[in-house]
């Protein structure tokens, strides 16, 4: 029952030394992950992605009546604007709370608030089994600035992306966003998130990094 569940949550918080915010984020991930079984899904600020390209194509084609599917090819970094959790890492945690769980069949990874361009390698345009890859131009700038592309250079670029993400010039970002018809957006400042709404008012979300 709900009272027993609440007691388990608070006991877990004390045992694991989680802050109230960490606990809130974990429960947020859970409500998002159980999908339509939770009425919360449609209002979730979280974004589901997958390590499986085939799963991504399946979901894209199932939700798009067009013959063209677009797949974002992203990578995980240690930067503040890349806050995520892998569903497989939630399984043991929620089992300890006696919450019914299921296998991570979609190989899911869940992002908080946004997938920023700093973590997008490319976009795949798939049409009639033909795939066109549109590479992030800021990634190409990084590659163009190194000499050669041997093992050392590949290792350097890999570590650079993992530690810092793709350097992205965001000058005139807001103006260009509005030209595309968007009227609100998420900002990240060293891990502290805020949302600017359609009236230009900024709402502070707070620190999004969850306890490891």
Confidence of residue 35 (pLDDT cuts 50, 70, 90): low
**For the segment 186-210, what is each residue's pLDDT rounded down to a tens digit?**
888 877 888 888 888 888 877 766 5
**For the segment 147-173, what is each residue's pLDDT rounded down to a tens digit?**
877 888 889 999 999 998 998 888 888
Mean pLDDT of the chain, nearest integer: 82
- pLDDT for 122 equals 96
| Separation CA 182–CA 196 (nearest Å) | 11
- If one counts every other C-beta atom within 10 angstroms of the C-beta of residue 200, the result is 9
CB 191 within 8 A of CB 207: yes
Residue predicted with more confidence, 184 or 33: 184
Please state the rounded mean pLDDT for residues 18-24. 74
Whole-model pTM: value is 0.79
Measured CA to CA in angstroms, residue 117 lies from 53, 123, 147, 188 at distances of 19, 11, 25, 12
Look at residue 136 and tell me whether its pLDDT is greater than 90.
yes
- pLDDT for 19 equals 74
**For the segment 67-97, what is each residue's pLDDT rounded down to a tens digit?**
888 999 999 998 888 888 888 877 767 777 7
Enumerate residues 6+ apart whose C-beta is below 8 A from 188: 80, 81, 113, 114, 116, 208
Confidence of residue 52 (pLDDT cuts 50, 70, 90): very high
- pLDDT for 134 equals 96
CB 125 within 8 A of CB 70: yes
Measured CA to CA in angstroms, residue 83 lies from 59, 106, 176 at distances of 22, 19, 25
Structure token digits, residue 16:
């694991």
């Amino acid at each position: 029952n709900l009272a027993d569940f609440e007691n388990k949550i608070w006991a877990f918080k004390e045992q694991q030394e989680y802050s109230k915010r960490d606990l809130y984020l974990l429960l947020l991930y859970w409500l998002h992950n159980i999908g339509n079984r939770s009425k919360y899904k449609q209002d979730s600020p979280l974004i589901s992605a997958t390590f499986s390209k085939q799963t991504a194509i399946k979901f894209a084609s199932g939700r798009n009546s067009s013959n063209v599917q677009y797949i974002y090819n992203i990578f995980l970094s240690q930067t503040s604007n890349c806050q995520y959790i892998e569903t497989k890492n939630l399984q043991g945690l929620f089992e300890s709370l006696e919450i019914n769980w299921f296998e991570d069949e979609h190989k899911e990874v869940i992002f908080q608030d946004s997938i920023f361009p700093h973590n997008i390698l490319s976009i795949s345009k798939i049409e009639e089994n033909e795939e066109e890859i549109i590479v992030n131009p800021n990634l190409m700038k990084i590659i163009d600035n190194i000499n050669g592309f041997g093992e050392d250079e590949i290792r350097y670029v890999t570590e650079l992306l993992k530690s810092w993400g793709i350097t992205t010039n965001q000058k005139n970002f807001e103006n260009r966003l509005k030209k595309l018809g968007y009227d609100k957006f998420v900002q990240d400042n060293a891990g502290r998130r805020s949302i600017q709404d359609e009236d230009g008012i900024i709402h502070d979300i707070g620190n999004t990094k969850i306890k490891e």
